[in-house]
A and B are shown apart, each in its own frame.
Chain A
Amino acid sequence: MAVVETRSLTKIFKKAEEGAVNDVDLVTRDGEFLVFLGPSGSGKSTLLRMIAGLEEPTRGDVLIGGRVVTDLPPRARGIAMVFQSYALYPHLSVEKNIAFPLKAHGVVKEKRRERVDWAAGLLGIGHLLARKPRELSGGERQRVALARAIVREPTVFLLDEPLSNLDAKLRASAREELTQFHKRVGTTTIYVTHDQVEAMAMGNRIVVLHQGIVRQIGTPREVYDEPADTFVATFLGSPPMNLVEDGDFIAGFRPESLLPADMVQGEKAAVRFRVSLVEYLGSERVLHGIIEGGRFDGRKVVSRVATAQSAAFGEGTAHDFAVPAREVKFFDKASGKRTGPRELSWR
């Protein structure tokens, strides 16, 4: 178990171009499940690869367990990595795949066998040891890749979108398994994904990246409820947070906070909401529409209402909706950064 730290870690691929990763300062907690979340091209994989030692930083340092490892090769960093493609060795059996890291570290044969059995048992792939990777399903390959990663008990796990090659159903169960697995082994884990559901469901904390810059670090609840800027606010959540401009600031509220007026208790901001499109999603409906009247007349907003409460909201109808005052977040218009609460007159 170890803490991973980066100090103004930067990667610039081509001179005179913007960096893929810019001055990233992070510290994981011991045994934490930390998720790097961002759209493609946000630098999350590059950041992970620099921690792994597969990519040389342009500047900055990587520390693992308090030791500067920036100039060490991957094998000297005590890490294990699971790749998006799993990167299993196609010519080796599952057993030899799992044993490879042990062999490379000079573990004796009897001990290797023992460790492979332990790892295979932990992931329930004991019956697959004699097979070749091409004879395995996607889920099985993923487990073999995980077994290969844990077999020499690394201090840090690095996972690069390990679920993205699985189909939707398998992904949900693999997500749960991975979380359980992390709880059992308790190794510091860094997990890269572009899928916010994965990030929210699995992460102890989430690092939101955009254009190589850390936008926010926080627990899933923090990044969702208290987004640090408009990027985080719109990147997380589906549909994303409603943003309405007002002078030099932007007000934001989640679609699930825009509710029929009679359902909102306490201090609230009331608006007239005309529904233009209804998406039926089973347990809930997503209502797309515009605000009518008041200062935000004509702004497009989205509401998410439980199906049971939304029977009356047909397309083309207008209703009284409201947002609880505490659910409205404010951002500076110029920088997009979060600012303190303000007075907002809706009418």
Chain B
Amino acid sequence: MAVIPAEGAAQARRRRRGPSDATWLGIGFIAPAVIYIAALVGLPLVLAFLYSVGDVKVGSVGYQFVGLENFRSVLESPSFRRSLVNSFIFTISTQVVVLVCANALALALRDHFRGRGVVRFLILLPWVAPISLGAIGWKWILDSIYSVVNWVLWKMHLVNMFDPPMWLGEPGLAMASVIAVHAWRMIPFSTVILLAGLTSIPRDIPEAAAVDGAGFWRTHFEITLPMMRPIINVAVLFGVVFTFTDMTVVYILTRGGPYDSTQVLPSLAFFTGVLGSDLAEGAAISVFLVPILVVVAALMLRVAHRAEVT
């Protein structure tokens, strides 16, 4: 009888020395994810930083460190400066449109009504459908010759049939179109987040506001929105990151044109680095996004953290 506990203790001691079986199992489970992220996100990121301070071109074999030469050259290029400004216009305008629309939709979808499920599904559709398909659809909708928008406007006697607006061909309109399409894509995502925020507000609170004498707008702006602020911050943070780094809509609709008027940093990086074969300069443009996004993310997280709920 005395032997058994002694043996047990020895076993326990042996086990305590190295990581336990459970730890190894845990490592085994997490490893695929770590390897995946390291290989497909980490490595390209490191390469981007390396390329941005080197002289790498598509097909070149050597690597020469050139310091900040690429950044200097990029900063001097008018295309880059235009794209930088465009990126901000694109991101901020999209977020404004998205927030206003998502707010209205979330409010509408909060209340029960017949067919709410169908409406929710339809609203989610732009988010779940592949963006390339959606964007191509929009390209047809906004086409210079076949545009249904123009046809409708013409039927309503709002535009001249022989001189319709060139939605993707005039600088101002092209930017507006790109913003509209990207907002269309982002709205479902924000709506879902805001809806979650809205439904988390106890029913008593808006009721108390109603009894206290607040109408719809006052309740919305002074009670509901401030209470939703943390979750709105999350929606904006994601929205900014998704918009600032996205090039799909620009690429498919306008390719950055006309005259770079819709060129944004990610698309410029792609055109310069991949299509223009100048990997180093493309990398420099991409890396330029990093500090901006880090600042945005840090700012938003701080605001979200500070916001007070309950």
Contact = CB atoms under 8 A, between A and B. Distances in A.
Contacts of B223: 89
A85 interface: yes
B205 interface: yes
B216 to A, nearest CB: 10
A52 interface: yes
Contact of B213 (A84, A88, A104, A134): A104
A14 interface: no
A97 to B, nearest CB: 9
Contact of A87 (B205, B226, B229): B205
B308 A74 contact: no
Nearest to B226: A91
A100 B308 contact: no
A80 interface: yes
A73 interface: yes
Interface string B292-305: 00000000000000
B213 A52 contact: no
A148 B210 contact: no
A75 B211 contact: yes
Please indicate which of the listed interface residues A74, A85, A105 has the most CB atoms of chain B within 10 Å of its own CB.
Answer: A74
Nearest to A134: B310
Interface residues of A, number: 27
Interface residues of B, number: 21
Given A90-B227, A90-B308, A75 B205 contact: no
Contacts of A275: none
A185 interface: no
Contact of B308 (A52, A73, A84, A91): A91
B309 A104 contact: no
A79 B218 CA distance: 19
Given A87-B202, A90-B227, A91-B308, A75 B215 contact: yes
Contact of B202 (A85, A105, A148): A85
Chain B interface main SS type: helix
A73 B202 contact: no
Nearest to B227: A91
27 contacts: A52-B211, A53-B210, A53-B211, A54-B207, A54-B210, A73-B210, A74-B211, A75-B212, A75-B214, A75-B215, A81-B208, A83-B204, A83-B207, A84-B204, A85-B204, A87-B207, A88-B208, A90-B308, A90-B309, A91-B226, A91-B227, A92-B226, A100-B209, A100-B222, A101-B212, A101-B213, A104-B214
A104 B212 contact: yes
Contacts of B226: 91-92
A100 B214 contact: yes
Contacts of B214: 75, 100, 104
A132 interface: yes
Nearest to A105: B213
Contacts of A73: 210
B213 A89 contact: no
Given A84-B204, A104-B218, A152-B213, 7 more contacts: A53-B211, A54-B210, A80-B211, A81-B208, A91-B309, A133-B310, A148-B212
Given A83-B204, A87-B205, A91-B226, A100 B211 contact: no
Contacts of A83: 204, 207-208
B205 A89 contact: yes
Contacts of B211: 52-54, 74-75, 79-81
A80 B310 CA distance: 22
A92 B213 CA distance: 17
A91 B202 CA distance: 14
Interface in B182-229: 202, 204-205, 207-215, 218, 222-223, 226-227, 229
Contacts of B204: 83-85, 87
A54 B210 CA distance: 8
